[in-house]
Amino acid sequence: MTAPSPAGVAIDAPAKLNLGLEIVGRRADGYHDLVTIFQAISIQDRLRLSPDPEPGLRLTCDDPSLADDNLARAALVALRRRTGTTAGATLRIEKGIPVAAGLGGASSDAAAALLAGRRLWGSPLPDDALADLAAEIGSDAPFFLRGGTALASGRGERLTPLPPLGGTWFVVVSPRIVLPRKTAALYAALRSDDFSNGDAVRRQAARLRAGSGLDPDLLGNAFRRPLAGLRPDLASLPETMRAAGAGAIGLSGAGPSHYAVVGDPEEADRLATRLAARLGAAVAVAVAAPWPDPPRPRPA
């Protein structure tokens, strides 16, 4: 039983990167089985859930495009239905994570909202019930309840924690483009030769367990070909990143965010500066570190 926190709850919601992503099969329920490593990173959204004398749920967001269609709202509605809570509340979201960029922002907000709601309303809902609610909201939402580094399979909801990733920084490059129904469209564009057996990602996971660091050759992502098919203008981005000095490059989720893996924070800053100068306003460039801590609700 978690004690209620009547003055309101604040929580930070981290973005994620996929350190390799393989699609291993198509399922009868319309989803796909995948094998991936999720890595939470220091790019974050900030949420605040406050009690309200008005019954019902309100949401405000500094990005007005997210004020209505929002997975965090869906998560709180599901939590309130599951626990029978009717108390009034307002959820405020401050976005720091680029939207619809393959960085998991919407799912992370949903998971953080569940943790905040459970705390604010003093619900005894156990972690596995919260994970079931999260999985109904989005395939990668359960990961964000714990964050850190994890090997994921199934739809993305079967999780095995991995040790924290040290000595690694990321330069995250997010093209400012809108791909309508991106995730569903990219899954639908997969061809049989985009499928693989999950071995590369599992080998990467074994390296991380052994403390051997990331192998750049095991960062492949099944969405690379379909994304380039849908947006040929993105196909040259890895080359541009390489020309700016990036070594190991990965694609996060179904894109369009790409990242460079860098072993030194100052070199990461320099690479980010060069990339921002080369790519201009068409992309957001940010330096991020692995974020090992689970999201924790705190008094607001």
Residues assigned a catalytic role: 16, 140
> What are the residues whose beta carbons fall under 8 Å from the beta carbon of 189, sequence distance 6 or more?
226, 229, 230
Token pair for 140: 């990668």
The owner of tokens 């985009």 is 194
Cβ contact 42:58 at 8 Å = no
Query: Any contact of residue 184 with ligand C5P (CB under 6 A)?
Result: yes
Distance in Å, CB of 254 to ligand C5P, minimum? 8
* Residue found under tokens 């990339």: 275
Q: Which window, 11-19, 179-187, 195-203, 240-248, contacts ligand C5P (CB under 6 A)? A: 179-187
Q: Does 221 engage in binding with ligand C5P (CB under 6 A)?
A: no
Minimal CB distance to ligand C5P: which residue?
Answer: 139
Kind of pairing, strands 32-52 and 149-153? antiparallel
Query: Is the Cβ of residue 22 or residue 45 nearer to ligand C5P in the bound state?
Result: 22
Which two structure tokens, joined as six digits, stand for 199? 């071995």
Least distance between ligand C5P and beta carbon 101 (Å): 14
Restricting to residues 118-177, name those near ligand C5P by CB under 6 A: 138-139, 155-156
Identify which of residues 249 and 254 has a Cβ nearer to ligand C5P in the complex: 254
Residue 70 or 139: the one with the smaller Cβ distance to ligand C5P is 139
How many residues in total does the chain contain?
Answer: 300
> Is the Cβ of residue 31 or residue 195 nearer to ligand C5P in the bound state?
31
Q: Which is nearer to ligand C5P, 98 or 297 (CB)?
A: 98
Give the residue from 83, 19, 4, 50 showing the smallest Cα distance to 288.
19
Total number of residues that touch ligand C5P (CB under 6 A): 11
Rg (Cα) of the chain, in Å, rounded? 19
Question: What would the two tokens of residue 205 be?
Answer: 């996971």
CB of residue 68 to ligand C5P, shortest distance in Å:
17
**Please, which of residues 18-37 interact with ligand C5P by CB under 6 A?**
30-32, 34
Backbone φ, ψ for residue 2 (5° rounding): -95, 135
* Cα(154)–Cα(245) distance, integer angstroms: 35
- With CB under 6 A as the contact rule, which of the stretches 9-17, 96-104, 183-191, 261-269 interacts with ligand C5P? 183-191
Minimum distance from CB of 165 to ligand C5P (Å)? 23
Instruction: Report the Cα 29 to chain-centroid distance in Å.
Output: 23
Residues at the interface with ligand C5P (CB under 6 A): 30-32, 34, 138-139, 155-156, 183-184, 187
